[in-house]
Protein backbone atom coordinates (compact mmCIF):
# COMPACT_ATOMS: atom_id res chain seq x y z
CA UNK A 1 0.00 0.00 0.00
CA UNK A 2 1.34 3.43 -0.95
CA UNK A 3 2.36 5.88 1.78
CA UNK A 4 -0.17 8.72 2.00
CA UNK A 5 1.45 12.16 2.34
CA UNK A 6 0.19 15.64 3.19
CA UNK A 7 2.52 18.44 2.01
CA UNK A 8 2.49 21.59 4.17
CA UNK A 9 4.30 24.79 3.15
CA UNK A 10 3.33 28.44 2.75
CA UNK A 11 5.46 28.61 -0.41
CA UNK A 12 3.63 27.55 -3.56
CA UNK A 13 7.00 26.63 -5.08
CA UNK A 14 7.85 24.16 -2.30
CA UNK A 15 4.33 22.70 -2.21
CA UNK A 16 4.58 22.03 -5.93
CA UNK A 17 8.21 20.84 -5.86
CA UNK A 18 7.75 18.42 -2.95
CA UNK A 19 4.52 17.07 -4.44
CA UNK A 20 6.21 16.61 -7.81
CA UNK A 21 9.10 14.61 -6.32
CA UNK A 22 6.87 12.39 -4.22
CA UNK A 23 4.34 11.75 -6.98
CA UNK A 24 7.06 10.21 -9.16
CA UNK A 25 7.42 7.33 -6.72
CA UNK A 26 4.75 4.61 -7.11
CA UNK A 27 5.00 3.80 -3.40
CA UNK A 28 3.87 7.31 -2.41
CA UNK A 29 0.55 9.11 -2.88
CA UNK A 30 0.21 12.84 -2.19
CA UNK A 31 -3.28 13.11 -0.71
CA UNK A 32 -3.28 16.89 -0.32
CA UNK A 33 -1.43 20.13 0.40
CA UNK A 34 -1.80 22.83 3.06
CA UNK A 35 -0.48 26.39 3.17
CA UNK A 36 -0.27 26.99 6.93
CA UNK A 37 -0.43 25.22 10.28
CA UNK A 38 -4.17 25.60 10.78
CA UNK A 39 -4.85 24.21 7.33
CA UNK A 40 -2.48 21.32 8.10
CA UNK A 41 -4.31 20.36 11.29
CA UNK A 42 -7.68 20.39 9.53
CA UNK A 43 -6.45 18.33 6.58
CA UNK A 44 -4.61 15.87 8.80
CA UNK A 45 -7.91 15.07 10.50
CA UNK A 46 -9.80 15.01 7.20
CA UNK A 47 -7.37 13.17 4.88
CA UNK A 48 -5.67 10.92 7.45
CA UNK A 49 -2.18 10.85 5.87
CA UNK A 50 0.57 8.49 7.03
CA UNK A 51 3.24 11.21 6.84
CA UNK A 52 3.24 15.01 6.80
CA UNK A 53 6.02 17.20 5.38
CA UNK A 54 5.92 20.37 7.50
CA UNK A 55 7.39 23.80 6.85
CA UNK A 56 8.73 25.67 9.89
CA UNK A 57 7.82 29.34 9.39
CA UNK A 58 4.23 29.84 8.21
CA UNK A 59 1.43 32.39 8.72
CA UNK A 60 -1.52 31.84 11.08
CA UNK A 61 0.18 28.92 12.86
CA UNK A 62 3.84 27.92 12.60
CA UNK A 63 5.16 24.40 12.16
CA UNK A 64 6.09 23.86 15.81
CA UNK A 65 2.64 24.73 17.16
CA UNK A 66 1.01 22.76 14.35
CA UNK A 67 3.01 19.66 15.30
CA UNK A 68 1.98 20.01 18.96
CA UNK A 69 -1.71 20.12 18.06
CA UNK A 70 -1.38 17.29 15.53
CA UNK A 71 0.17 15.09 18.23
CA UNK A 72 -2.76 15.88 20.52
CA UNK A 73 -5.53 15.36 17.96
CA UNK A 74 -4.29 12.73 15.49
CA UNK A 75 -0.62 11.71 15.92
CA UNK A 76 1.07 11.40 12.54
CA UNK A 77 4.66 11.01 11.40
CA UNK A 78 5.97 14.51 10.66
CA UNK A 79 9.04 15.36 8.56
CA UNK A 80 10.13 18.98 9.07
CA UNK A 81 11.48 20.85 6.03
CA UNK A 82 13.82 23.45 7.48
CA UNK A 83 16.44 26.02 6.51
CA UNK A 84 20.12 25.55 7.34
CA UNK A 85 20.31 28.73 9.42
CA UNK A 86 21.05 28.78 13.14
CA UNK A 87 17.54 30.04 13.85
CA UNK A 88 16.05 27.40 11.55
CA UNK A 89 17.92 24.68 13.43
CA UNK A 90 16.62 25.92 16.80
CA UNK A 91 13.01 25.95 15.58
CA UNK A 92 13.36 22.53 13.95
CA UNK A 93 14.67 21.01 17.17
CA UNK A 94 11.72 22.56 19.01
CA UNK A 95 9.43 20.85 16.49
CA UNK A 96 11.16 17.53 17.11
CA UNK A 97 10.68 17.99 20.84
CA UNK A 98 7.01 18.63 20.07
CA UNK A 99 6.75 15.29 18.25
CA UNK A 100 8.20 15.59 14.73
CA UNK A 101 10.45 12.61 14.02
CA UNK A 102 12.79 13.80 11.26
CA UNK A 103 13.78 16.78 9.16
CA UNK A 104 15.10 17.66 5.73
CA UNK A 105 17.12 20.81 5.09
CA UNK A 106 15.68 23.47 2.81
CA UNK A 107 18.63 24.28 0.55
CA UNK A 108 17.08 26.38 -2.24
CA UNK A 109 19.83 25.57 -4.76
CA UNK A 110 19.37 21.82 -4.41
CA UNK A 111 15.60 22.12 -4.74
CA UNK A 112 15.91 24.42 -7.78
CA UNK A 113 18.47 22.15 -9.47
CA UNK A 114 16.19 19.12 -9.09
CA UNK A 115 18.98 17.17 -7.41
CA UNK A 116 18.59 13.41 -7.81
CA UNK A 117 20.20 12.78 -4.42
CA UNK A 118 17.67 15.13 -2.82
CA UNK A 119 14.82 13.30 -4.55
CA UNK A 120 16.09 9.94 -3.28
CA UNK A 121 16.66 11.30 0.23
CA UNK A 122 13.16 12.76 0.47
CA UNK A 123 11.35 9.71 -0.91
CA UNK A 124 13.47 7.33 1.16
CA UNK A 125 12.62 9.16 4.37
CA UNK A 126 8.93 9.35 3.52
CA UNK A 127 8.69 5.61 2.78
CA UNK A 128 10.61 4.69 5.92
CA UNK A 129 8.43 6.91 8.11
CA UNK A 130 5.30 5.61 6.41
CA UNK A 131 6.23 2.06 7.41
CA UNK A 132 7.10 3.03 10.97
CA UNK A 133 4.47 2.60 13.67
CA UNK A 134 6.40 4.39 16.42
CA UNK A 135 5.46 7.95 17.36
CA UNK A 136 7.38 10.39 19.56
CA UNK A 137 4.72 11.85 21.82
CA UNK A 138 5.29 15.46 22.86
CA UNK A 139 4.25 14.64 26.43
CA UNK A 140 7.08 12.14 26.74
CA UNK A 141 9.75 14.42 25.32
CA UNK A 142 8.58 17.48 27.24
CA UNK A 143 8.65 15.51 30.48
CA UNK A 144 12.37 14.98 30.02
CA UNK A 145 12.85 18.58 28.93
CA UNK A 146 11.30 19.66 32.22
CA UNK A 147 14.14 17.98 34.10
CA UNK A 148 16.63 20.56 32.81
CA UNK A 149 19.16 21.30 35.50
CA UNK A 150 19.34 24.99 34.61
CA UNK A 151 23.13 24.81 34.05
CA UNK A 152 23.96 26.67 31.65
CA UNK A 153 46.04 15.45 13.06
CA UNK A 154 45.39 12.97 11.22
CA UNK A 155 44.62 12.80 7.49
CA UNK A 156 41.53 11.49 5.73
CA UNK A 157 43.48 8.36 4.77
CA UNK A 158 43.59 7.47 8.46
CA UNK A 159 39.80 7.69 8.58
CA UNK A 160 39.55 5.28 5.65
CA UNK A 161 42.01 2.91 7.31
CA UNK A 162 39.77 2.83 10.38
CA UNK A 163 36.71 2.22 8.23
CA UNK A 164 38.40 -0.64 6.37
CA UNK A 165 39.45 -2.22 9.66
CA UNK A 166 35.82 -2.03 10.76
CA UNK A 167 34.87 -4.40 7.95
CA UNK A 168 36.88 -7.24 9.53
CA UNK A 169 34.76 -10.27 10.44
CA UNK A 170 33.35 -10.30 13.96
CA UNK A 171 32.62 -13.31 16.12
CA UNK A 172 28.91 -14.10 16.02
CA UNK A 173 27.04 -14.81 19.24
CA UNK A 174 23.33 -15.12 19.88
CA UNK A 175 21.98 -11.74 20.97
CA UNK A 176 20.45 -11.61 24.42
CA UNK A 177 17.02 -10.10 24.92
CA UNK A 178 16.74 -10.66 28.65
CA UNK A 179 15.49 -8.09 31.17
CA UNK A 180 19.06 -7.09 32.03
CA UNK A 181 21.55 -6.45 29.22
CA UNK A 182 25.11 -7.76 29.04
CA UNK A 183 27.38 -5.29 30.83
CA UNK A 184 31.01 -4.49 29.94
CA UNK A 185 33.51 -6.15 32.29
CA UNK A 186 35.20 -2.82 32.96
CA UNK A 187 33.66 0.13 31.14
CA UNK A 188 35.77 3.24 30.54
CA UNK A 189 33.81 4.91 27.72
CA UNK A 190 30.32 4.92 26.16
CA UNK A 191 29.85 5.69 22.46
CA UNK A 192 26.39 6.19 20.94
CA UNK A 193 25.37 6.36 17.26
CA UNK A 194 21.98 7.49 15.91
CA UNK A 195 20.17 9.01 12.94
CA UNK A 196 16.44 9.37 12.18
CA UNK A 197 14.62 9.75 15.50
CA UNK A 198 17.95 10.14 17.25
CA UNK A 199 17.53 13.66 18.68
CA UNK A 200 14.51 12.63 20.75
CA UNK A 201 16.10 9.29 21.68
CA UNK A 202 19.32 10.96 22.83
CA UNK A 203 17.36 13.51 24.81
CA UNK A 204 15.41 10.73 26.51
CA UNK A 205 18.60 8.94 27.54
CA UNK A 206 20.90 11.83 28.40
CA UNK A 207 18.41 13.79 30.51
CA UNK A 208 18.14 10.78 32.83
CA UNK A 209 21.88 10.53 33.53
CA UNK A 210 23.18 12.06 36.79
CA UNK A 211 25.88 14.73 36.87
CA UNK A 212 28.27 12.19 38.41
CA UNK A 213 27.88 9.66 35.59
CA UNK A 214 31.21 7.79 35.80
CA UNK A 215 32.18 7.53 32.11
CA UNK A 216 32.89 9.87 29.18
CA UNK A 217 30.39 9.66 26.31
CA UNK A 218 30.87 10.15 22.57
CA UNK A 219 27.77 10.98 20.49
CA UNK A 220 27.45 10.59 16.71
CA UNK A 221 24.15 11.90 15.32
CA UNK A 222 23.60 12.38 11.58
CA UNK A 223 23.04 16.15 11.28
CA UNK A 224 24.47 19.19 9.45
CA UNK A 225 26.91 21.33 11.45
CA UNK A 226 24.40 24.09 12.16
CA UNK A 227 22.07 21.55 13.72
CA UNK A 228 24.69 19.69 15.77
CA UNK A 229 25.94 22.92 17.37
CA UNK A 230 22.42 23.98 18.34
CA UNK A 231 21.53 20.45 19.46
CA UNK A 232 24.57 20.30 21.75
CA UNK A 233 23.58 23.64 23.31
CA UNK A 234 20.03 22.46 23.95
CA UNK A 235 21.13 19.16 25.46
CA UNK A 236 23.62 20.93 27.69
CA UNK A 237 20.81 23.12 29.03
CA UNK A 238 18.53 20.15 29.62
CA UNK A 239 20.96 17.60 31.06
CA UNK A 240 22.72 17.21 34.41
CA UNK A 241 25.80 15.95 32.56
CA UNK A 242 27.84 18.29 30.37
CA UNK A 243 27.15 18.09 26.63
CA UNK A 244 29.61 19.83 24.29
CA UNK A 245 29.92 20.31 20.54
CA UNK A 246 33.23 18.52 20.02
CA UNK A 247 36.44 20.31 19.03
CA UNK A 248 39.90 18.88 18.45
CA UNK A 249 41.69 18.56 21.77
CA UNK A 250 38.55 18.20 23.90
CA UNK A 251 39.33 15.94 26.85
CA UNK A 252 37.40 12.82 27.76
CA UNK A 253 35.90 13.28 31.22
CA UNK A 254 33.37 11.36 33.34
CA UNK A 255 29.97 12.99 33.00
CA UNK A 256 30.89 14.78 29.76
CA UNK A 257 29.33 13.96 26.37
CA UNK A 258 31.05 15.16 23.19
CA UNK A 259 28.81 15.48 20.12
CA UNK A 260 30.45 14.98 16.71
CA UNK A 261 30.09 18.12 14.54
CA UNK A 262 28.02 17.74 11.39
CA UNK A 263 29.98 17.44 8.16
CA UNK A 264 33.09 16.21 9.99
CA UNK A 265 34.47 13.07 11.63
CA UNK A 266 35.27 12.56 15.30
CA UNK A 267 37.98 10.11 16.35
CA UNK A 268 40.02 9.54 19.49
CA UNK A 269 43.52 10.88 19.99
CA UNK A 270 44.68 8.08 22.26
CA UNK A 271 42.55 7.64 25.38
CA UNK A 272 42.50 11.22 26.63
CA UNK A 273 41.00 13.45 23.95
CA UNK A 274 39.30 13.64 20.55
CA UNK A 275 40.22 14.94 17.13
CA UNK A 276 37.70 16.45 14.73
CA UNK A 277 38.65 15.89 11.11
CA UNK A 278 37.40 17.38 7.86
CA UNK A 279 34.67 15.15 6.47
CA UNK A 280 35.93 13.36 3.38
CA UNK A 281 33.44 13.59 0.51
CA UNK A 282 33.92 9.89 -0.28
CA UNK A 283 32.28 8.93 3.02
CA UNK A 284 28.49 8.75 2.90
CA UNK A 285 27.98 9.88 6.48
CA UNK A 286 29.67 12.92 8.00
CA UNK A 287 29.84 12.30 10.91
CA UNK A 288 30.01 8.51 10.61
CA UNK A 289 29.19 6.14 13.46
CA UNK A 290 31.47 3.53 11.86
CA UNK A 291 34.49 5.86 11.96
CA UNK A 292 34.05 6.84 15.61
CA UNK A 293 33.27 3.26 16.69
CA UNK A 294 36.40 2.02 14.92
CA UNK A 295 38.50 4.62 16.69
CA UNK A 296 37.06 3.62 20.08
CA UNK A 297 37.75 -0.06 19.33
CA UNK A 298 41.38 0.78 18.58
CA UNK A 299 41.91 2.77 21.78
CA UNK A 300 39.64 1.13 24.37
CA UNK A 301 39.08 -2.43 23.10
CA UNK A 302 36.96 -4.41 25.60
CA UNK A 303 36.56 -1.43 27.94
CA UNK A 304 33.92 0.23 25.77
CA UNK A 305 30.14 0.15 25.57
CA UNK A 306 28.78 0.81 22.07
CA UNK A 307 25.11 1.76 21.62
CA UNK A 308 23.27 1.90 18.28
CA UNK A 309 19.98 3.79 18.31
CA UNK A 310 17.20 4.47 15.82
CA UNK A 311 18.11 5.46 12.26
CA UNK A 312 17.90 4.65 8.57
CA UNK A 313 20.62 2.67 6.84
CA UNK A 314 23.45 0.62 8.32
CA UNK A 315 25.97 3.16 9.65
CA UNK A 316 27.40 1.67 12.86
CA UNK A 317 27.24 -1.94 11.70
CA UNK A 318 30.88 -2.23 10.62
CA UNK A 319 32.09 -0.21 13.58
CA UNK A 320 30.08 -2.40 15.94
CA UNK A 321 31.64 -5.50 14.39
CA UNK A 322 35.10 -4.10 15.05
CA UNK A 323 34.17 -3.13 18.63
CA UNK A 324 32.75 -6.61 19.18
CA UNK A 325 35.87 -8.31 17.83
CA UNK A 326 37.94 -6.18 20.24
CA UNK A 327 35.85 -7.48 23.15
CA UNK A 328 33.57 -4.47 23.64
CA UNK A 329 29.88 -4.73 24.51
CA UNK A 330 27.17 -3.63 22.04
CA UNK A 331 23.59 -2.65 22.87
CA UNK A 332 20.96 -1.93 20.21
CA UNK A 333 17.64 -0.13 20.58
CA UNK A 334 14.58 -2.36 20.47
CA UNK A 335 12.49 -2.30 17.30
CA UNK A 336 9.34 -1.25 19.12
CA UNK A 337 10.96 1.87 20.58
CA UNK A 338 12.75 2.93 17.35
CA UNK A 339 11.44 5.52 14.93
CA UNK A 340 13.30 3.63 12.18
CA UNK A 341 14.71 0.17 12.94
CA UNK A 342 17.43 0.35 10.29
CA UNK A 343 20.74 0.89 12.06
CA UNK A 344 20.01 -1.34 15.08
CA UNK A 345 18.65 -4.07 12.83
CA UNK A 346 21.81 -3.99 10.69
CA UNK A 347 23.94 -4.57 13.80
CA UNK A 348 21.73 -7.41 15.01
CA UNK A 349 21.70 -9.11 11.60
CA UNK A 350 25.50 -8.86 11.45
CA UNK A 351 25.74 -10.73 14.77
CA UNK A 352 27.47 -7.77 16.40
CA UNK A 353 24.93 -7.03 19.14
CA UNK A 354 24.97 -8.32 22.71
CA UNK A 355 21.66 -6.99 24.03
CA UNK A 356 18.45 -5.34 22.81
CA UNK A 357 17.29 -2.52 25.09
CA UNK A 358 14.09 -0.42 25.12
CA UNK A 359 14.68 3.32 24.85
CA UNK A 360 13.25 4.00 28.29
CA UNK A 361 15.72 1.60 29.92
CA UNK A 362 19.07 2.72 28.50
CA UNK A 363 19.90 5.32 31.15
CA UNK A 364 19.15 3.01 34.08
CA UNK A 365 21.27 0.20 32.62
CA UNK A 366 24.09 2.62 31.81
CA UNK A 367 24.06 3.87 35.39
CA UNK A 368 24.09 0.29 36.67
CA UNK A 369 27.58 -0.15 35.22
CA UNK A 370 29.93 1.51 37.71
CA UNK A 371 32.97 -0.64 37.05
Catalytic residue, chosen from 10, 39, 222, 288, is 222
Apex 307 CA angle, 305 and 308, nearest 5: 155
Catalytic residue, chosen from 83, 195, 334, 355, is 195
Q: Reply yes or no on whether 50 is catalytic.
A: no
Q: Reply yes or no on whether 65 is catalytic.
A: no
The CA distance from 76 to 311, in Å, is 18
Residue 92: closest CA among 84, 236, 43: 84
Apex 178 CA angle, 142 and 359, nearest 5: 15
Q: Is 175 helix (H, G, I), strand (E, B) or coil?
A: coil
Kind of pairing, strands 51-55 and 3-8?
A: parallel
Q: Reply yes or no on whether 132 is catalytic.
A: no
CA distances 185 to 16, 171, 277, 370, Å, are 56, 18, 31, 10
Those residues whose C-beta lies under 8 Å from the C-beta of residue 324, and which sit 6 or more positions away, are 170, 171, 330, 352, 354
Q: Which long-range contacts (CB under 8 A, 24 or more apart) does 117-122 make?
A: 118/21, 119/21, 119/24, 122/18, 122/21, 122/22
Among all residues, which ones are annotated catalytic?
195, 222, 315
Amino acid sequence: MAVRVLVVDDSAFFRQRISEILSQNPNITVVGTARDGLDAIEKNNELKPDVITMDVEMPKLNGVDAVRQIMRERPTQVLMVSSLTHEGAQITLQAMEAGAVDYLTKDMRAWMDKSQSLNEDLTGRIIALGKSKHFVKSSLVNRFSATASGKKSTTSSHVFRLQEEAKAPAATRAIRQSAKPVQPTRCRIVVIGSSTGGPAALQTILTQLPANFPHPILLVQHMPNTFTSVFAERLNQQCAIEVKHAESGDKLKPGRALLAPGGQQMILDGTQSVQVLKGDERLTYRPSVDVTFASVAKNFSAQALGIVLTGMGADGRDGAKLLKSAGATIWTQSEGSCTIYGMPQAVVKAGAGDSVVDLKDFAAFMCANRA
